């Protein structure tokens, strides 16, 4: 499968996973394959209430912690999704959310290069 097709399939699959697992999907998802990394940027992940809460230091930390815990609770599904699409095994996973821009970054480190 061409690199662009893999990236597109990952973006669509992650959007579907968000809707099913988290209850709502991102506004825009962009995936890039680089060597053995799958880098995903998800735009519009925060709800209006989370954006308001994140205006204080305590609220910001609360939103980040909750979002981290939610995604980590679905890591088994995410790893399986990456394995199904890429044919590789996820070795490690990193994620963070910007409470300023409402973007989430996910990085999946695979056991081999893709595309």
Q: Which tens digit of pLDDT belongs to each residue from 63-96?
A: 999 999 999 999 999 999 999 999 999 999 999 9
Q: What is the mean pLDDT of the chain?
A: 95
What's the mean pLDDT in 41-59?
94
Beta bridge partners, 108, equal: 38, 93
Q: Is the pTM of this model over 0.95?
A: no
What's the mean pLDDT in 37-65?
95
pLDDT surpasses 90 at 24:
no
């Amino acid at each position: 499968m061409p690199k662009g097709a893999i990236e597109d399939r990952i973006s669509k699959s992650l959007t579907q996973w968000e809707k099913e697992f988290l209850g709502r999907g991102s506004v825009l998802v962009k995936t890039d394959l680089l060597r053995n990394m799958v880098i995903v940027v998800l735009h519009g992940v925060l709800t209006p209430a989370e954006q308001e809460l994140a205006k204080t230091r305590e609220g910001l930390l609360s939103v980040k912690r909750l979002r981290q815990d939610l995604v980590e609770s679905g890591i088994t599904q995410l790893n399986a999704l990456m394995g199904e699409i890429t044919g590789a095994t996820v070795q490690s996973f990193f994620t963070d959310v910007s409470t300023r821009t409402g973007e989430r970054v996910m990085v999946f480190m695979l056991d081999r290069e893709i595309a």
